[in-house]
Structure 1
Amino acid sequence: MRAIVFKEWKQFPELEDVARPVPGPGEVLLKVAGAGACHSDVSIFQDFTAEVPGNMAKGFVLGHENSGWVEELGPGVEGIEIGGAYLVYGPIGCGHCKACSRGQDTYCENAATNPYLGIGLGRDGGMAEYVTVPVRNLIPLGDADPIAAAPLADAALTPYHAIKKALPHLNGGGRFALVVGLGGLGQIAVQILRALTGATIIATDMKPEAMAKAEAAGALTVLGGPDQVSRIREITGGRGVDAAFDFVGVTPTIATAAGSMAQGGRLTVVGIAGGLHEWTFFNTPYESTITNTYWGTIEELHEVVDMYRAGQIVPEIETFSLTDGLTAYRKLADGQLSARAVVVPHD
């Protein structure tokens, strides 16, 4: 079968012929419906210079946002329908620590000694015609479109987890939520906030076309610039926002979010860009929190799929054939995509 393989650090991946995988005990073989291209993939082959914690050694098939149809059952698997459509939970932990027992493999206590971080993160992923998946990691899609669903596994689960943790700050009247960065995750975050809260949603970005999409989803928008924070505070009547979500994570965006906070608010930095923020007692609103989150739980991905099937989350995608998958990654790396790229191997 054909697959997009990450072969070497600081080297663009390659489209190769590889052996079709065979499902082991407790696994299924999926015929891939869609595989989302994520900036994390670009970081793997463009930014990293050595193996990262979790033994994510080079030489694996990319793709951690996956959906597909069950093609074959491994030994011991029961109750799974051949031909059924499923979304894939990407992280794979040790399966027996406290974090994994609650379905939060992303925070596995044994990540440093596990053989890989997840599907498409050290273990062969879904940028291929077929992929093997532990049956535990399957979320049924029913009759929902599996191709459009593929990005939900990260681009929706990640903001959903961050927003769900912040819901106590948004419960009640007169609350404000801020979304910084209106790429794939930020756009879905606006939809999730609209569905789960009654808060006024403020969204900010440097791209007018991205802000127009957020406005169509129900957000008030503020263009990036020197008066960005003052304009956000003006919308809130000077008080600031109750919950902010930074989906970029560079120093200026963290500063924008932090400068927009109300007393007792919560700032969640979701974007993994390595930005820094200086905390002092007097430059931080009293009893406000700056924190971070990473991906989400299996249970939450079931909830994300429920929202998708109800029409509350509608990912914007651009599809590519597997042959054109490398083009999708080049466009992603060059910032030329306005929607989530989804590779469709059997189109």
Structure 2
Amino acid sequence: MRAVVFEDWKTFPVLKDVHKPTPGPGEVLLKVAGAGACHSDVAIFQDFDADFNPAGLSTGFILGHENAGWVDELGPGVHGFEKGDAYLVYGPIGCGRCKACSRGQDTYCENAATNPYAAVGLGRDSGMAEYVSVPARNLVPLGDADPAIAAPLADAGLTPYHAIKLATPKLAGADKYALVIGLGGLGLLGVQILKAITGATVIATDMKEDAMAEAEQLGAITVAGGDDQVAKIREITGGTGVDAAFDFVGVSGTIQAAMQSMAIGGRMTVLGIAGQPYEWTFYTTPYEVELTNSYWGTIEDLHEVAELFRVGKIEPKVTKYPMDKALEAYQDLVDGKVSGRAVVTPNE
């Protein structure tokens, strides 16, 4: 089968023929409907090396951690799945034994340092291929929903949903405001999720006019980036600031803008993995503001995200690429040409 393989550090991935996987005990083989191309993948082959390797990866695996497809074959000991049914894949794979894994939060596995890989697509062969084998436990049913469109929900939907869900106490009640910074694949889904599960007024900001136009169509009030960005955000809130903010960029400037926009007692979550620093000081931070981060979410969260998709409350904006143009999808991502999410469709 054809697959996009990350072969070496600081090296663009290659499209090559590899062996079709066989599902092992407790695993299910999916015929891939869609695999999302994410900036995290770009970081792996463009930024990581043997010395800077936060995920503890080795080279030589198939990329793609946002996957959905149809059941093709069951491994030994697996029951309850019908061939042809559509499923979304929960990417993280923990030890399955610790407290975090027991609550479905494999992202925070206590034994991550000794696990053989972090996730499907992070050390383990993934779905940027015609077929992928995954643990049966990690499959979330999609029913009649289109798995090719659903694929980005595995990260671009799950990551904002988990952070927003944790922040919902800050958004309960009347006259609440939420801020979304960065309107790529995750940010646009973040706007939709906020509109779907909270009653907050959503303010969205980006440097791209087309991205802000899309956010407006989804019900957000938009503010362009710039020197007066924070003043405009505070003006919308009547001067009090936002109750929750979600930064999908994570550079120093966006973190600072979010923190300057906060209301007293608000919660600011950094989700972008740019990894840049922010200087906190007592006198420039509104009182009792929480500054935190989060990473992916739980299996339970992904079931809830899939349900929002099935009932039509959220939908990723995707640009499809056939398998022979999979590398073009990654190049477009590197070049900033992708609006929403690039999805490779190996079997379409």
TM range (shorter): over 0.9
Distance in 2, Cα, partners of 1:246 & 1:275: 12
Equivalent residue letter for 2:125 = D
User: How far is 1:339 from its partner?
Assistant: 2.5
> Would the aligned equivalents of 1:66 and 1:126 in 2 still touch at CA under 8 Å?
yes
Deviation at residue 53 of structure 1 after TM alignment: 5.2
Q: Does the C-alpha gap of structure 1 residues 101 and 318 become closer, same or farther in structure 2, counting only changes over 3 Å?
A: same
- Counterpart residue identity of residue 131, structure 1: V
**Rounded Cα–Cα distance in structure 2 between residues aligned with 1:102 and 1:264:** 28
Task: Give 1:210's aligned residue.
Answer: 211
Matched, 1:346 2:347: yes
Deviation at 1:60, TM superposition (A): 0.2
CA distance in 2, matches of 1:181, 1:55: 27
Which whole-Å CA distance do the structure 2 matches of 1:53 and 1:195 have between them?
34
**2:267 alignment counterpart:** 266
Which SS does the other structure have where 1:296 is aligned?
Answer: coil
Please tell me whether residue 304 in structure 1 is matched to residue 305 in structure 2.
yes
| Greater shift in the superposed pair: 276-285 or 112-121 | 276-285
Any conservation in 2 of the 1:54–1:114 contact (CA below 8 Å)? Answer: no
Q: 2:167: which partner in 1?
A: 166
Matched-pair contact (CA < 8 Å) for 1:3–1:129: yes
Letter in 2 for 1:168: P
User: SS at 2:95's partner residue?
Assistant: coil
- Cα contact 2:188–2:340 (8 A) shared by 1: no
Correspondence 1:154-193 to 2 at 5 A: 154-193=155-194
Asked if the contact 1:34/1:147 (under 8 Å) is kept, the reply is yes
Report the TM-score, using the length of structure 1 for normalisation.
Answer: 0.99
Residue type at the aligned position of 1:33: A
Give the aligned partner of residue 328 of structure 1: 329
For the residues of structure 1 that align with 2:61 and 2:198, how far apart are their CA atoms?
40
Q: How far is 1:274 from its partner? A: 1.0
Contact 1:55 1:115 in 2 (8 A): no
Other-structure match for 2:79: 78
Deviation at 1:277, TM superposition (A): 1.2
Q: 2: CA distance between counterparts of 1:17 and 1:166?
A: 44
What is the alpha-carbon distance in structure 1 between the residues aligned to residue 276 and residue 221 of structure 2? 25
Superposition misfits of 4+ residues, deviation over 6 angstroms? none
CA displacement, residues 276-335 of structure 1 (integer Å, 9 cap, x when unaligned): 111111111111110000000000000000000011111100000111000000000110
Residue 54 of structure 1 contacts residue 112 of structure 1 at CA under 8 Å; is this kept in 2? no
CA contact (8 A) 1:94 1:100 kept: yes
Contact 2:30-2:72 within 8 A present in 1 as well: yes
Report SS of the residue matched to 1:276: coil
| 1:1-347 alignment, distance < 5 Å | 1-50=1-50, 52=53, 55-347=56-348
**More divergent stretch after superposition (246-255 vs 49-58):** 49-58
Residue type matched to 2:74 in 1? Answer: L
Provide the C-alpha distance between the structure 2 equivalents of 1:298 and 1:197, rounded to a whole number of angstroms: 21
Residues 12-55 of structure 1 show CA distances to partners (whole Å, capped at 9, x for unaligned) of: 00011101110000001110010000000000000001273554
- Could you report, residue by residue, the CA deviation over 1:169-199 in whole angstroms, capped at 9, with x for unpaired residues? 0000010000011111000000000011111
Instruction: Decide whether the 8 Å contact of 1:53 with 1:112 is kept in 2.
Output: no
Instruction: Give the secondary-structure state (helix, strand or coil) at the position aligned to 1:133.
Output: strand
- For the residue of structure 2 that corresponds to 1:29, the secondary structure is strand
Structural RMSD (CA) = 0.8
Q: Distance in 1 between matches of 2:119 and 2:200?
A: 35
Q: How many residues align?
A: 347
Provide the C-alpha distance between the structure 1 equivalents of 2:224 and 2:54, rounded to a whole number of angstroms: 38
For 1:55 and 1:232, the matched residues in 2 are separated by: 39
Deviation at residue 130 of structure 1 after TM alignment: 0.5
* Equivalent-residue separation in structure 1 for 2:100 and 2:13 (angstroms): 32
What code does the residue aligned with 2:346 have? P
Kept in 2: contact 1:29–1:133 (CA 8 A) = yes
- Change beyond 3 A, Cα 1:246–1:55: closer
Amino acid at match of 2:199: G
Give TM-score, length-normalised by structure 2: 0.99
Q: Could you list the per-position Cα deviations for residues 216-267 of structure 1 after superposition, in whole angstroms to 9, with x for gaps in the alignment?
A: 0000000000000000000111100000000000000001100000000000
Give per-residue Cα distances to partners, 1:81-137, cap 9 Å, x unaligned: 111110000000000001000000000011111000010110000000101010000
- One-letter code aligned to 2:62: V
Q: 1-side partners of 2:282 and 2:316: how far apart?
A: 40
Counterpart-to-counterpart distance in 1, 2:84 and 2:112: 33
1:31 aligned partner, one-letter code: K
What stretches of structure 2 of length at least 5 have no aligned partner? none
For the 8 Å contact 2:179–2:203, the answer to whether it is kept is yes
TM-superposition CA deviations, 1:123-162 (whole Å, max 9, x none): 0000001010100000011110010000000000000000
Tell me, yes or no, if the aligned pair for 2:28 and 2:134 is still in contact at 8 Å: yes
SS of aligned partner of 2:283: coil
Distance (whole Å) between structure 1 residues aligned to residue 164 and residue 265 of structure 2: 16
